[in-house]
Amino acid sequence: MKRLVRMIVSRTTFILVLLLAQIVLFLVLIDYVSNIGDWSIAFYAVSIIIVIYLIAKEENPYYKISWIIPILVFPLFGGLFYLFYRQRNLSSTIIQRHLNIDSSRKDYTDTFENKLQTKKSIYLENQNWPTYSNTKTEFLGSGELMFERMLEDISKAKKYIFLEFFIINQGQMWDTLLALLKKKMSEGVDVKIIFDDFGSSTLPFRYVNKMKKMGIDAINFNPMRIHLNFAMNYRDHRKIVVIDGNVGYTGGINIGDEYINKISPFGHWLDAGIRLEGEAVWSLVISFLENYRFVGKKDVDYNHYKGHKSKESDGFVAPFTDTPLDRELTTKNMYLHLISSANTSIDITTPYLIIDNELNTALKLAASSGVKVRIIIPYVPDKRIVYMVTESYVPELVEAGCNVYRYEPGFIHSKMMIIDSNKAMIGTANLDFRSLYLHFENSVFLDGCKTIQEMTTFFDETVEKSICVTQTSKKNIIYRLIQIMLRGFAALM
């Protein structure tokens, strides 16, 4: 009940209501203008031009279908609605600033030698994300464990603490963390926080100012505004924690009580993350500072935050970020690299399975080529409509030979891909359109680390708690028709 009340009175609900009113007003005005003159012909012409543009444009076919269908069904206002909604809410000047920040990364990473010469590592190296060897890794197979280890390391901070999260919700988890941050600030430790304004919309109005009064150098990413393209896209979905440049974390958890199972709105919440100690933390430092510079519009001396630890390791580690502003699709390309390199097995955990044609084809091709493909999705959905789309991909994957499991205790939120039990990727990116095309994400690529064996054990244990989906799993015809319609708009979810 409390969750429902918070949702109703949240800033997100308020803005969504106003957005809906704006859309209704937009449609009424279009209808009115079209009836007082010959404007309807012009509106139809705009829709036709937009459809031609979408067909000719080099873009994912799912995006084309998601827009072409509604434009053709509602040609009077479909084209104009596309122009309003699809217009970037970031100016070309802002985008160029972000690209300039990204390009400066080479100045801080070219001192590291890439000792792992594979297609995946070379691809990341070409984007100035080095592969490190002097780094200790630790797999953390639950939100509770990850939060516990984070608190331990934060309590030892001497110089600074960086925190970047998609969601910060008030509750026991945030209260515990905030109390520790206040203690460290009283000891002279610098604390910087970046949080996404949409993801953290349950926070009180102007909470960022309250944080600043506490002494936290806080930034809310891409603040929500009331207009048609009010920034549902381009959200900061990253989760990064850095302590003194020597220890870093990333993974699925945000700051909210469900992530450590203090509340259970969707059954047991199963998450996962990774702890890094050593040279590879430098890439997490750079990742945070790039966003800090971009959003805060502040010049920063990266070297001031560089750590000095070097840990013996048994493999290679490459943290990296992904941004929707450079059109590179780094995370998706890494997933495709990993899938295509598999010889024996592909293990995936994801809360959402809404994949484009390339990933869908790659997974089915791997399965039909003799690779054992296992995918774990939730049993209890957190977003029913999105879950219906996830379910729609399952039958064809199963038919191609993939093994799909539903995590029976509740909701699995970990984002992992393990290849042949010796290569892996773990981080913040879901297997859906928003993570792969529209969100700011970060991940860690691992090769040859013993940590990967721990991830495989975690996966096997999770399979034991999951229900295997078979081809005989049927839904009624109405449900399937709804799925088909929703899948046509998958790229917009």
Q: In angstroms, rounded to a whole number, what is the distance separating the alpha carbons of residues 119 and 294?
A: 30
Q: In angstroms, rounded to a whole number, what is the distance separating the alpha carbons of residues 244 and 250?
A: 15
Active site residue 420: yes
Active site residue 237: yes
Tell me how far CA of residue 335 lies from CA of 68, 115, 197, 329, in angstroms: 28, 21, 28, 10
Q: Which long-range contacts (CB under 8 A, 24 or more apart) does 140-145 make?
A: 140/249, 140/251, 140/272, 140/273, 140/274, 140/275, 141/272, 141/454, 141/458, 142/270, 142/271, 142/272, 143/252, 143/253, 143/259, 143/260, 143/261, 143/269, 143/271, 143/273, 143/413, 144/260, 144/261
Active site residue 309: no
Over its C-alpha atoms, the chain yields an Rg (Å, rounded) of: 23
Q: In angstroms, rounded to a whole number, what is the distance separating the alpha carbons of residues 493 and 480?
A: 18
Task: Write down the catalytic residue from 120, 184, 192, 237.
Answer: 237
Provide the 8-state DSSP code for 226: S
Query: How many angstroms from the chain centroid is the CA of residue 362?
Result: 21
Strands, E, within 351-429: which ranges? 372-378, 403-407, 410-412, 416-419, 423-427
Active site residue 38: no
Closest to 435 measured CA to CA, from 457, 411, 452, 415: 415
Task: Write down the catalytic residue from 197, 244, 322, 356.
Answer: 244
SS (H, E, C) 459-491: HHHHHHCEEECCCCCCCCHHHHHHHHHHHCCHH
Active site residue 415: yes
Q: In angstroms, rounded to a whole number, what is the distance separating the alpha carbons of residues 246 and 439?
A: 27
Task: Write down the catalytic residue from 120, 332, 413, 439.
Answer: 413
Active site residue 239: yes
Q: In angstroms, rounded to a whole number, what is the distance separating the alpha carbons of residues 394 and 388?
A: 10
Task: Write down the catalytic residue from 98, 120, 184, 239.
Answer: 239
Task: With H, G, I as helix, E, B as strand and everything else as coil, classify residue 326.
Answer: coil
The two three-digit tokens of residue 451, written as one number: 């940590």
Tell me how far CA of residue 112 lies from CA of 2, 282, 331, 481, in angstroms: 50, 10, 22, 53
Task: Write down the catalytic residue from 420, 423, 432, 439.
Answer: 420
C-beta of residue 398 within 8 angstroms of C-beta of residue 404? yes
Instruction: Say which residues have a Cβ less than 8 Å from residue 246's Cβ, sequence separation at least 6.
Output: 277, 278, 281, 307, 308, 309
Q: Please give the backbone phi and psi of residue 299, each rounded to the nearest 5 degrees, phi first.
A: -80, 140
Task: Write down the catalytic residue from 415, 432, 439, 447.
Answer: 415
- Interaxial angle between packed helices 477-487 and 384-399, expressed in degrees from 0 to 180 and rounded to the nearest 10: 100
The two three-digit tokens of residue 401, written as one number: 């030979």
Q: In angstroms, rounded to a whole number, what is the distance separating the alpha carbons of residues 348 and 373?
A: 8
Q: Please give the backbone phi and psi of residue 451, each rounded to the nearest 5 degrees, phi first.
A: -55, -30
Provide the 8-state DSSP code for 236: B
Q: What residues are labeled active site?
A: 237, 239, 244, 413, 415, 420
